[in-house]
Chains A and B, each alone.
Chain A
């Protein structure tokens, strides 16, 4: 997901830059009669608007079909649900167990005993694969299926005080 976000951002930012550069390059020679230019520009704007609607409208709706809030992500795995209760403390994680089996859905029940924390799961390449907030008084249920065995790190994703950056632990994912 991250490379797509990065590449899409770069493409869109570059398109915006081209628009501004095109106008800056064509700004020197004045066309005194603004009305016809305005008329053409308004026509183009209408097309731009509908273009945006046609491209980003479906994208906006399509991305809503894969929300992390339901049980959908866990369905990618098979077998009985593995449950881990995770509680954040300033500045450590307490997990009910620290090893799971790959390919089987895991349900993390994340909460906090003190302040806001963020429960971020990092793979062996140090890429964030899933997260939810750990909040006092609430339990956020995060469902994730680890496809690859290995050691995953849990990092805190919400600023929680002076040792926030040290609030890490590990989960071992065994092969099935």
Chain B
């Protein structure tokens, strides 16, 4: 077995493009959080915006959050991957431009065209609004998603080009020679392995997503071009699952790159690491039927496959990445600051959120919990306390004035406020799911309202702490471009 030692790498500041990605993500994140709060307040019967407006906000919240998760995740991947491969800045910027163009189209569709068919645009709802929106509004929404998808496809093709130019092929980028042969310790670093995985799954996912969007766009104006609703559902969930999952696999690169700098311990691509990422590549592609467990007409072997992969998919998260973070932090002498705390917390959020998620993927559980608030309960845990927290950690890291700077008391308070309020918020969702509260309801039955009120209070606290994190990032954005050591050295061993 190869032995691994920590090698210090110089700390590069962020390119302007990375900061533009992060600034866009942060601003849209706050806005979408406010939209989410408005939805909870409406369900709590503390405000009255009406079902029409509620579902518009719901559509924007879903599309917006998935979009900025992808943008933020891509910025983390691009920032660190360019240490190892030669990426195109122009394509990186082109993706952001296309993203913003898509956002404008989506905003126009919803705010002007009153489209509210949900971000999942399940066929044939966009074309059957009962007069609530026009075919043009639906086309603008789906066209916006398509434009955003094209941007990401370009980005991933550029990443693919750069990886192949440096490593020869994807098998080598995934470390297969070391995984299936002798581990000579020369497997690509975790950042490259993760980027290769994300590129493979997202290129496939985006092509499938673009295909169904194009089919549905044609169907909007040529109804004779018929689409099988079950096929459409399968394609949408395949694309949607891959795309949102990939955001976590991109953002976790921040953990792989930054935590070793704090602990001066290596996070290397050994056989177990490589095996888990190869397994995740396959599992992310084949897990999507767990979204269709209540579609009894779907092929049963695929539904059972979704159930089984739901269990298996949890193993790499717990045993490799989560456990890996615990290993390098244990007795490391790490000096905790906002960046290291948030990155450590993010892996807890990811691993903890995976628990109710795999339970939901159990067919017999799904039978009584599918499309209840249990679902947003688990995905808000691993996205908000996992993926978004990784990005907050990355933002704090980039903006850290120097490696010895202490955090301000208000930031420390915000960290604990964020941790506790996100847990309160997500547990409110999960408890509501346990009580069978249906998902995506503009108005709740009187029995459900108390849970909505508790969730609303936690949502306000989540937004307050996120506001401080984002404010701190913008206040320090000028520092983020410079090259200097940000991570404090771990404490020396004591005799």
Q: Name A residues whose Cβ lies closer than 8 Å to a Cβ of B.
A: 1-3, 5-6, 8-9, 12-13, 16-17, 19-20, 23-24, 26-32, 34-35, 37-38, 41, 45, 48-49, 52, 56, 60, 63-64, 66-69, 90, 114-116, 118, 120, 122, 126-133, 135-142, 155-166
Residue on A nearest B327 in the bound complex, by CB: A41
| Chain A at the B interface: SS class | mixed
**Distance between Cα atoms of A48 and B314 in the complex (Å):** 13
- Which A residues are CB-close (under 8 A) to B128? 90, 114-115, 161
Choose the segment among B194-202, B205-213, B361-369, B480-488 that binds chain A (4+ C-beta atoms closer than 8 Å): B361-369
**Distance between Cα atoms of A103 and B16 in the complex (Å):** 68
Residue on A nearest B434 in the bound complex, by CB: A6
Q: Identify which of B307, B369, B440 contacts A164 (C-beta below 8 A).
A: B440
Q: Name B residues whose Cβ lies closer than 8 Å to a Cβ of A.
A: 3, 6, 51-52, 55, 116-118, 120, 122, 124-125, 128-130, 132, 228-230, 233, 265, 272, 294-297, 300, 303-304, 307-308, 311, 315, 318-319, 322-323, 326-327, 329-334, 336, 344, 347-348, 351-352, 355-356, 359-360, 362-365, 367-372, 374, 430-431, 433-436, 438-445, 447, 490-494
Going nearest first, the 5 A-B pairs with the smallest beta carbon separation are A30-B333, A165-B441, A128-B436, A12-B355, A6-B434
- Which A residues are CB-close (under 8 A) to B332? 27, 30-31
B364 touches A68 (CB 8 A): yes
Choose among B323, B333, B368 the residue with the greatest number of A CB atoms under 10 Å from its CB.
B368
- Which A residues are CB-close (under 8 A) to B490? 30
Q: Identify which of B362, B434, B445 contacts A63 (C-beta below 8 A).
A: B362
Choose among B55, B319, B431, B436 the residue with the greatest number of A CB atoms under 10 Å from its CB.
B436
B333 touches A28 (CB 8 A): yes
Given A5-B369, A118-B294, A164:B122 Cβ within 8 A: no
Write the nearest CB–CB distance from B121 to chain A, whole angstroms.
Answer: 11
- Which B residues are CB-close (under 8 A) to A48? 318-319, 323
B372 touches A128 (CB 8 A): yes
**Distance between Cα atoms of A142 and B296 in the complex (Å):** 8
Given A115-B122, A128-B372, A140-B297, A135:B230 Cβ within 8 A: yes
Q: Identify which of B116, B228, B352, B356 contacts A137 (C-beta below 8 A).
A: B228
Residue on B nearest A156 in the bound complex, by CB: B438
Given A30-B493, A67-B363, A69-B300, A131:B122 Cβ within 8 A: no
Given A9-B430, A48-B319, A132-B294, A31:B363 Cβ within 8 A: no
B436 touches A126 (CB 8 A): yes
Q: Identify which of A3, A38, A45, A67 contacts B364 (C-beta below 8 A).
A: A67
B371 touches A157 (CB 8 A): yes
- Which B residues are CB-close (under 8 A) to A127? 368, 435-436
Please give 10 more A-B residue pairs, beta carbons under 8 A apart, in addition to A115-B125, A131-B370. A1-B365, A41-B327, A56-B311, A64-B307, A67-B364, A68-B296, A126-B436, A127-B436, A128-B369, A164-B442
Q: List 9 A-B contacts (CB under 8 A).
A: A1-B369, A19-B322, A23-B330, A28-B491, A38-B327, A41-B327, A116-B229, A140-B295, A160-B125
Given A66-B364, A136-B229, A140-B295, A23:B445 Cβ within 8 A: no
Residue on A nearest B303 in the bound complex, by CB: A69
B230 touches A5 (CB 8 A): no
**Distance between Cα atoms of A1 and B319 in the complex (Å):** 27
- Which B residues are CB-close (under 8 A) to A157? 294, 370-372, 438-439
B122 touches A132 (CB 8 A): no
Q: Identify which of A1, A115, A159 contacts B440 (C-beta below 8 A).
A: A159
**Distance between Cα atoms of A148 and B183 in the complex (Å):** 62
Given A23-B326, A35-B3, A165-B443, A135:B295 Cβ within 8 A: yes
A26 touches B130 (CB 8 A): no
A159 touches B118 (CB 8 A): yes
Residue on B nearest A9 in the bound complex, by CB: B356
Write the nearest CB–CB distance from B318 to chain A, whole angstroms.
Answer: 7
A9 touches B363 (CB 8 A): no
- Which B residues are CB-close (under 8 A) to A166? 443
Residue on A nearest B292 in the bound complex, by CB: A133
- Which B residues are CB-close (under 8 A) to A20? 326, 344, 347-348
Write the nearest CB–CB distance from A138 to chain B, whole angstroms.
Answer: 4
Choose among A2, A26, A114, A158 the residue with the greatest number of B CB atoms under 10 Å from its CB.
A158
Given A13-B355, A133-B295, A138-B297, A161:B130 Cβ within 8 A: yes
